[in-house]
Amino acid sequence: METAFPEYAARLAKRLPELAAGDKSACIGLDGFVDRILYVVDQRTGSGSYRRMEAMADYGRRIIEAAGLSMNVELAPVSTKPGGNGVIMAQAASRLGLRTTCIGAMGRGKLHPVFQPLKDGMNLISYAEPARTDALEFLDGKIISSTLQSLNEVTWESLVKAAGLDSLVREMDRADLIALNNWTMMPGMTEIWRQMLLQVFPRLNPRRRILFFDLADPAKRTAPDTREALAMMRRFAAYGETVLSCNVRESQRLMAVLDLPACAGLNGKGSGRDLEKTCRELREKIGVSVLVIHALKYAVCCRGDQSGMERIWTVPGNYAPQPVLTTGGGDNFNAGTAVGLLCGMEPDLAVFLGNMVSGYYVRHGESPSMDDLALYLKQEAHRNT
Domains of the chain, by residue range, sit at 5-38+80-383
On whether the 5-38+80-383 domain is CATH 3.40.1190.20, my answer is: yes
List C-alpha distances in Å: 261 to 153, 194, 230, 271: 36, 29, 18, 19
Residue type at position 191: E
Rounded to whole angstroms, how far apart are CA atoms 88 and 246?
A: 16
Mean pLDDT for the stretch of residues 183-202: 97
Helix segments in the chain, DSSP class H: 5-20, 56-65, 85-95, 149-152, 156-163, 165-173, 189-199, 223-235, 248-257, 273-286, 329-342, 347-364, 370-383
Give the pLDDT of residue 369: 95
Give the pLDDT of residue 299: 96
Give the pLDDT of residue 1: 43
- pLDDT digit string, tens, across residues 35-88: 999 999 999 998 889 999 999 999 999 999 999 999 999 999 999 999 999 999
Give the pLDDT of residue 19: 84
Rounded to whole angstroms, how far apart are CA atoms 373 and 356?
A: 8
Q: What is the dihedral of CA 213, 230, 258, 287, to 10 degrees?
A: -80
- pLDDT digit string, tens, across residues 292-339: 999 989 999 999 876 678 999 999 999 999 999 999 999 999 999 999
User: pTM for the whole thing?
Assistant: 0.93
Return the closest-CA partner of residue 170 out of 215, 128, 212, 123: 123
Give the pLDDT of residue 269: 46
**Window from 200-209, 251-260, 299-308, 341-350 with minimum mean pLDDT:** 299-308
Dump the DSSP string for 94-124. HHTT-EEEEEE-S-SSS--GGGGGGGGTSEE
- Give 81's strand partners: 35
* pLDDT at residue 272 tops 80: no
